[in-house]
Chains A and B, each alone.
Chain A
Amino acid sequence: MNDNQSCDEMFDQWMLEETIPDNGFTASVYQCILEEQQKDWKPWGFVLLSLSIAIFYFQQNLVEWVVKGHIMGRMILNTTISSIEINISQSTLVLLAAGVLYFTIESITKLWNESI
C-alpha cells in the first residue's frame, strides 16, 4: 500500500509542469521561421518571374508602345529618326525586365526577412 502511494506521489510529482529556461529555444524558433519563409518564397519568385515574362511576352503592344514612345520623344526633340535603328529585340527586353523584377523582389524579401 505504501509502495503504491509513493509511486502515485512520484508520478504526480513527475507529471507536474516544470519550468524550462529558454536557453536559446526562442532564437531557434525564429531561425526556423526564417528558413521556412525563405523556403516558401522560392515558388513565389518563380511564379512572379513566369507571370512577368508572360505579361511582357503576350502584350507585345506594350513593348511597341514603349518603342514608339521613344521614337516620338526623339521626334519632339528634333532628332533625326531615320538614323535610329531599333536593335533591342523584344525577347531581350522581356528577359531584362523579368530579371530586374525578380531580383528586386528577392532583395526586398531578404531585407524584410532580416529585419524580423
Chain B
Amino acid sequence: MSDRDGLLSAQPLILHFDEILRAHQSSIRSFFRKITAGRNELADELAQETFLLVYKNLQQYRGEGSLKAWIYSIARRVYLNTKVPHEVSSEEEWIGTTSLESDSRLDLERCFRWIDDEERLVLCLSYVDGLSHQEVSDMMNLPLGTVKTKIARAKQKILEGLGKRQEVKP
C-alpha cells in the first residue's frame, strides 16, 4: 500500500477505507497473532479495534510517513492499551515438562510470552514487511540504537528459551 499512498491522498482517504482494510487486514492480524503469541481470537479482536480507530481517525492522517507505519502505530497503541493475560506457568516449570503435545511452534509462542511488552512490540514491528528500523524507532519513541539492542536482546531470550527446551526434550 505504501507505494500507492500518493495516489490515495488525491481523494479523501475515508473513501478508500475498504481498500485499506482489505489490503492490510492480513498483515495486521498476522502481527497481532505473533504479538499475542498464538491467541488468535484475541488477535482478531485487537485487529478489529485497530481498524475501528483507523476508520475514526483516517481524516487526521496527514501523509507524514507511510500509511502502513501510521496503521501500525495505531496497532501498537491498541496493544499497549489492552491487558493481555500472561502465561500462568513459569519458565522453569515449562522447561521441565516433557509433554509430547508440544511442538516447535508452541514452544516458540510460549517463549514469546515471557519477554516484556516493549521488547515484544519492537521485535514484532521489526519483522513487519516494509517497516524500517527507523520507522519502528519513531513509532516507539526510542532511539534507533535502543531499538536495535532490544530486537537483539528479545531474539536472544527467545532462542535461549528454545535451546533449553530442546535440551530437555525426550
- Give A contacts to B, CB under 8 Å: 3-4, 7-8, 10-11, 14-22, 25-26, 28-29, 32-33, 36
A33 to chain B: which residues have CB within 8 Å? Answer: 52, 55
B128 to chain A: which residues have CB within 8 Å? Answer: 17
B51, B56, B166 interface centre (most CB from chain A within 10 Å): B51
Q: Is there contact, CB below 8 Å, between B21 and A4?
A: no
1/0 contact trace for B17-44 toward A, CB 8 Å?
0100110011101110110000000001
Q: Is there contact, CB below 8 Å, between A32 and B105?
A: no
Q: Is there contact, CB below 8 Å, between A20 and B30?
A: yes
Tell me the nearest residue of chain B to A36, going by C-beta.
B52
Surface stretch bound by A, among B70-78, B93-101, B135-143, B157-165: B157-165
Closest CB of chain B to A18's CB: distance in Å? 5
Q: Is there contact, CB below 8 Å, between B26 and A7?
A: no
Closest CB of chain A to B62's CB: distance in Å? 22
A-B CB proximity, top 3 nearest: A15-B127, A20-B26, A7-B162
Q: Is there contact, CB below 8 Å, between B104 and A25?
A: no
Q: Is there contact, CB below 8 Å, between B163 and A29?
A: no
1/0 contact trace for B98-132 toward A, CB 8 Å?
00000011001000000000000001100111000
Q: Is there contact, CB below 8 Å, between A25 and B29?
A: yes
Q: Is B48 an interface residue (CB 8 A)?
A: yes
Q: Please name 19 further chain A to chain B contacts, defined as beta carbons within 8 Å, in addition to the given A26-B25, A29-B55, sorted by A numbering.
A: A3-B166, A4-B163, A10-B104, A10-B108, A10-B162, A11-B155, A11-B159, A16-B127, A17-B26, A17-B127, A19-B26, A20-B25, A20-B30, A25-B25, A25-B44, A25-B47, A25-B48, A29-B25, A32-B52
Q: Is there contact, CB below 8 Å, between B25 and A17?
A: no
Tell me the nearest residue of chain B to A31, going by C-beta.
B48
Q: Is there contact, CB below 8 Å, between B48 and A11?
A: no
Tell me the nearest residue of chain B to A19, going by C-beta.
B26
B48 to chain A: which residues have CB within 8 Å? Answer: 25, 28-29, 32
A20 to chain B: which residues have CB within 8 Å? Answer: 25-26, 29-30, 33
